[in-house]
Amino acid sequence: MSRPAADLHADVADVLLSEEVIQAKVAELGARITDDYADRELTLVSVLKGSLPFMADLMRHVALPLTIDLMEVSSYGGAMTETSGLVRILKDLSASIDGREVLLVEDIIDTGLTLNYLVRYLRGKNPASLRICTLLDKPARRLVEIPVDYVGFTIPDQFVVGYGLDYGERYRNLRYVGVLRPEVYST
Ligand code: IMP
């Protein structure tokens, strides 16, 4: 299980989004959010662990007074590359979002099942508004349609890692988003 960190790059077959491309997009999203929420105070809610780098970078490109909160969810069962749709809250919001302008910050939307659960959960907490920002969108496998307000990149139906995204909890620390070599799944 414990392999040297250099192997992380060797496991990646293809860099889909370079660090430069990601950073430029995050700055662009931050500027749009700043314009759209001008004169309002925002609460960014991110979902651990995958959204952590995106949230950290995005919030520094939003030039508004804001608060942040973190949730952690896990899906029950399913393989390591699938979500089951049954979501369990491992960490709930720390503060009330009643009457707040909430922007949910996601790493990736795949089937949409996790997001669907979260949106319903957060709506039940009575925010003034609730919008969604995702770095990556994989529409090919969507099972639930949810309107997404801010999308960084639409990507093909490939399992990706890096910039927060994991396979078996690894690869989150890569600065780019890449596709793993098929051998990695079989070992
Ligand atoms: P959904 O419920 O199918 O939309 O899946 C959302 C969650 O599944 C994401 O927040 C990720 O944790 C995980 N996920 C979906 N696709 C990928 C991927 O390509 N790489 C890594 N994690 C993924």
- pLDDT digits 0-9 by tens, 112-151: 999 999 999 999 999 999 999 999 999 999 999 999 999 9
**What is the spatial distance between Cα 61 and Cα 105, in angstroms, rounded to a whole number?**
13
Contact (Cβ atoms closer than 8 angstroms) between residue 47 and residue 104? yes
Residue 84's pLDDT is 63
From 71, 83, 104, mutation site for ligand 1 pocket: most ligand atoms within 8 A of C-beta: 83
Atom 10 (ligand 1) nearest CA: 108
Q: Which one of the listed residues 11, 107, 110, 137 is annotated catalytic?
A: 110
**If you average pLDDT over every residue of the chain, what do you get?**
92
- For residue 110, indicate whether it is catalytic: yes
**pLDDT-based confidence at residue 78 (cuts at 50, 70, 90):** low
Residue 187's pLDDT is 66
Q: Is the distance from the beta carbon of residue 137 to the nearest atom of ligand 1 less than 6 Å?
A: no
- Nearest-CA neighbor of 44 among 64, 73, 24? 64
Position 103 pLDDT exceeds 80? yes
